[in-house]
A = this chain, B = another copy of it.
Amino acid sequence: MSTYQFDIAVIGAGPGGVEAALYAGRKGLKAALVSNTSIGGRAVWSSLLPSKAWLALAEKIDGLRRLEGMGAHAGKHELSLEQLRRRIGEQSRLAFGIRLKELEDAGVFFFFGDGRIIEAHKLEVSSAEEPTRTITAGNIIIASGSGPRFLPDARPNKDRIYAPKIAAALPEIPPSLIVAGGGVTGTEYAYAFAALGSRVTVLQSGAQLLPRMDAEVAGAFRAYLEGHYDIRFHAGEAIASMRQEGDKVFATSIRGSVFEADYGFIAIGRVPDLSFFEPGQLPLALTEEKMVNTDAFGRTSIPHIYAVGDVTGTPMTANRAAMQARVAVQHILDGDGSKLLPAHFIEAAYTNPPIAQIGDMGPEAGAEFISKPFSSLLKANIMGEAEGLMKLKVRKADGLILGAAGFGAHFADVMGIVQVAMNNDIPYGKIREIPLAHPSISEILTG
């Protein structure tokens, strides 16, 4: 058994793990990246990236519709799932290549296999191809991510019941589709399939689509989707079972409602991947929801073991994971004096238009809400994409932005302006007075 020694060993090569290893390598630390998936992790190879290829196609097809009235009549298009599948493969390899080069440039060592933490500073990497290797490290960062959640009676069946990971295996665009789940993933795929021509039924467990978002913005977004696509949302219909009979799929909610369609799609959440340790063997504290318990710097209950990304809880987004990764590495470098603190970050569904939120949008004494519709923007109108709403929460006393939410063209990019302002205590008045590019979508923040 070979033994290797590192400053930092990272388990998991998804967005959090890659960022942790990269950041550590760039700071001059000797870093190991341990993963049983190829670089990019599940995000690149089965969840985030494939969904974005579907969404990019849906967005371009949307563009065809918008062409009418702008100065052209679009011809009839033909979808090619074969082409889409090929593209997902190409894009995954491209993302892999970009990350690999960055990791190599940062001097990161890569270990392929299942990583398992044995004790505070030691982990083992095992795989079918190589003898088990032991890594010792000054610090370990757990970034093992999450996998899709299914129910005993609601899981993909390799025929007409699908999940995001295997969406590309669909033989056709479903004439009709039941999407179980009204979170980010369910909403993204519901939009994508609706834009590509499916009649979509979404079963959401709670009262609100995208329950983490501002209720008014989420409600307006839902109304937008229902108004523009053949898509219907059913609130309070958490799925109990999904089964196939012949060529039909039937979904039954916990309330007993039954829905029927040609295909089913399950996106009811993700569960953390805890395969990196044996609960009896390592005294790692978990939360009630079986997430790894961490503090703001990512420290777990065991000194020198940190955790970042999905394994630490919701929201399970790539940019939260990346931020946590940097915060953890910086804390390893600087200790409690670290100046890199957890920042406000954006949660988004990358539909077209995207919907995004940052900060807390709940009612609050001393705060005011400012709303602006995208229909007031020259740029949105001229693009033919005037649907959308921006909502800001501002503290009256000092004008600081406490939160923002909205949906509309380019909104995930525009939110970067809000994010920079929030993370640097720039009051809204200072954004408002700046002449942003005209005409641009960023002007939604001015005037």
Contacts and interface: CB of A to CB of B under 8 A. Distances in A.
Interface of A: 15, 48-49, 52-53, 56-57, 59-61, 63-64, 66-67, 69-81, 83-84, 87, 91, 94-95, 98, 102, 317-320, 322-323, 326, 340, 343, 345-346, 348, 350, 356, 376, 378-379, 381-384, 410, 412-417, 419-421, 423-424, 426, 430-431, 433-442, 445, 447
A78 B72 contact: yes
B319 A435 contact: yes
Chain multiplicity (copies):
2
Contacts of A378: 49, 52, 91, 95, 98
Given A87-B70, A382-B91, A421-B420, A438 B317 contact: yes
Contact of A52 (B72, B98, B382): B382
A60 B66 contact: yes
A413 B437 CA distance: 7
Contacts of A435: 319-320, 322-323, 326, 343, 345-346
Contacts of A426: 420, 424, 426
A69 B77 CA distance: 13
Contacts of A319: 435-438
Nearest to A82: B71
Contact of A91 (B74, B381, B434, B438): B381
Contact of A71 (B71, B80, B421): B80
A71 B84 contact: yes
Contacts of A49: 378, 382
Given A346-B437, A436-B346, A424 B416 contact: no
Contacts of A95: 378, 381
Nearest to A88: B71
A382 B73 contact: no
Given A57-B67, A426-B426, 16 more contacts: A56-B383, A64-B67, A64-B74, A67-B77, A75-B78, A94-B381, A102-B447, A322-B438, A346-B437, A350-B439, A412-B440, A412-B442, A413-B414, A420-B426, A420-B430, A420-B431
Contacts of A57: 67, 70-72
A27 B345 CA distance: 34
A83 B71 contact: yes
B438 A413 contact: no
10 contacts: A60-B384, A69-B83, A70-B83, A72-B80, A72-B83, A74-B74, A74-B77, A319-B438, A416-B437, A420-B420
Contacts of A70: 53, 56-57, 60, 83-84, 87
Contacts of A440: 348, 412-413, 416
Top 10 closest pairs, chain A to chain B, by CB? A75-B75, A71-B84, A416-B442, A323-B435, A319-B435, A57-B71, A412-B437, A319-B438, A63-B63, A75-B76
Contacts of A79: 71-72
A416 B72 CA distance: 31
Nearest to A67: B60
A15 B438 contact: yes
Contacts of A72: 57, 60-61, 77-80, 83
A181 B216 CA distance: 48
A98 B76 CA distance: 35
A385 B2 CA distance: 45
A310 to B, nearest CB: 13
A263 to B, nearest CB: 17
Contacts of A326: 433, 435
B75 A74 contact: yes
Contact of A56 (B64, B94, B317, B384): B384
Given A343-B435, A426-B420, A71 B98 contact: no
Contacts of A64: 63-64, 67, 74
Contacts of A91: 378, 381-382
Nearest to A440: B412
Nearest to A320: B435
Contacts of A343: 433-435
B81 A71 contact: yes
Contacts of A87: 69-71
